[in-house]
Amino acid sequence: MIPIRKIVLLAVVLAALSCIPLYLHLTTSTAEFSRYNTQWNGTSLFFGDLEERGAVMVTDLAGIPSYPDSRLLLLAPDRAFSAGDLGAIRSYVTGGNTLLLADDTGTGNQVLEGIGARTRILPGNLSSLDFYLWDTQSGRYQPSSVIASVTREDLLTSKVEVILLNKPAAVEGGEVLAETSLMSWMDTNGDRRINPDEPLGTYSVFARERVGDGTLYVLSDPSIFTNGMVQLPGLENNTLFLEHVKDAPVLLVDQSHSRTGEAGGLIPLLAAARSTKVMELLMVAIVSILIAYLFHRRIL
């Protein structure tokens, strides 16, 4: 007969083990582009690196003009910008700062219009015969895994030859820094083929524009920041490109209008707890006391 003490011990171990997925579930998100999403479609890896570099997470755009000589990353915006927000961004850019907007839905066009830029994002399913993914399940190529060639040397494209994109849109206007090959098309019906009403042509995917004293960069694909893309082997060019993006004296990352800031459940609470050293120590102390008590009572 197994002693009750062993049963209790087993139960406690099982309960502790079951808490691990519970904790993971509560502290992670499945939202697209979310920095709390550790899956392929999240940006936890990119943001983990940003945090290590001391990037400032912006929750109120009104404050960004107070960061001179900085770079603001606005990745995958998904909500409307107020007039105040647009005014702040305009002041920020025209004041000599840099804005990098990465969007494939067209939501960012409000920002582009608001700051007086001429560059626009053309939403659509941009596809190309220059691709890097082959769908093993269907045995067909993925034309939306577009390989774009860098056409102009820039601070962000230095020594980068190609940028590998994932379901990108296109960019219209500005100085073209990277573009697709001639054999690219907007796959309007999504059949992953070139149809007669889908003409071939070259599309810009990364462009630069001077706005006031500042610089605007528009990238038509925020997916290159996701974990799935960051972890993909053999993407040295993308890694180098992301390094250039992160390499700024002061890096601001918008969290107020971006999908990267999306969270749910206990994530904000736990994130806040983990962000404070005192709280972190307190949590460790509580767990330690609990374990000590269980040992003292000879439960463990």
Partner 1 sequence: MTRRILLPLMFVCATVVGLFIGVNFASPELYVPQNHSSSQYHVNPQYSEITSWQSSRDLMEIMSALMDDTGSVVVKIREKDFETAEREYRRLVGQGHNFENIVVDLELSETEMGEFNRYNQRNQELIRRLLDDSKRFEELKSLEVRYRDEKNPSALYSVTYEGEGLKTQIQEVTRQYDQQAPAFTLLGQQFSLNTTGYLQSVSEVESLAQEAGATQETRKAEADTLKRTSPVTAMPASVDSVTLEVQPDQATFGDTLRLTAWLTGRFPGEQTVDVYLDSQRWASGRSDATGRFQYDLLVDRVRAERHVLYAAHEGVYSPLVNVTIVPTDAALSLEVRQLAERNVSVSGTLTAAGLPVPGAEVNIYLDNIRVMNTLTGGDGVYRAFLPLQAGMYTFRTASSDSTFPLRAAESPPLTLTVSGRAGAQSVITTIMIYATFLILFSMGAVVYYRHQRGGGGPFEFRNPFAFLKLPRRKEIPARTPPEPAAAAPPPSEEASPPPPTAEEAATTPDRSREFVLAQYRQLIIGGDHPNAVQGLYLFLRDQLARKYRIRDHRSFTPRELWRLTNNKTCFGDFTKFIHLYETVRYGGAALSPEESESLVRWFEGTSSAVESDSD
What residues line the site for partner 1 (CB under 8 A)?
Answer: 1, 3-4, 8, 11, 15, 18, 22, 25, 32-33, 39-41, 76, 104-105, 128-137, 140-142, 144-145, 147, 166-167, 181-184, 192-196, 200, 222-223, 226, 228-229, 231-234, 297, 299
d(CA 72, CA 220): 16
Comparison of 2 and 278: residue with beta carbon closer to partner 1: 2
Give the CA-trace dihedral at 128, 165, 235, 149, to 10 degrees: 60
Instruction: Give the shortest CB-234-to-partner 1 separation in angstroms.
Output: 6
Residue 30 to residues 22, 23, 35, 44, 110: CA-CA distances in angstroms? 14, 14, 10, 11, 27
Instruction: Give the shortest CB-206-to-partner 1 separation in angstroms.
Output: 17
Comparison of 107 and 215: residue with beta carbon closer to partner 1: 107
Instruction: Give the shortest CB-57-to-partner 1 separation in angstroms.
Output: 21
Tokens found for residue 108: 């960012």
Residues pairing with 254 in the sheet: 58
Instruction: Give the shortest CB-270-to-partner 1 separation in angstroms.
Output: 15
Residue 87 to residues 23, 107, 109, 153, 290: CA-CA distances in angstroms? 41, 17, 15, 30, 52
Comparison of 115 and 218: residue with beta carbon closer to partner 1: 218
Instruction: Give the shortest CB-33-to-partner 1 separation in angstroms.
Output: 7
Instruction: Give the shortest CB-287-to-partner 1 separation in angstroms.
Output: 14
Residue 160 to residues 60, 177, 241, 248: CA-CA distances in angstroms? 33, 11, 6, 17
Comparison of 104 and 254: residue with beta carbon closer to partner 1: 104
Q: Which of these, 28, 19, 24, 23, lies nearest to 227 by C-alpha position?
A: 28
Comparison of 54 and 233: residue with beta carbon closer to partner 1: 233
Q: What is the CA radius of gyration of the chain?
A: 23
Comparison of 200 and 284: residue with beta carbon closer to partner 1: 200
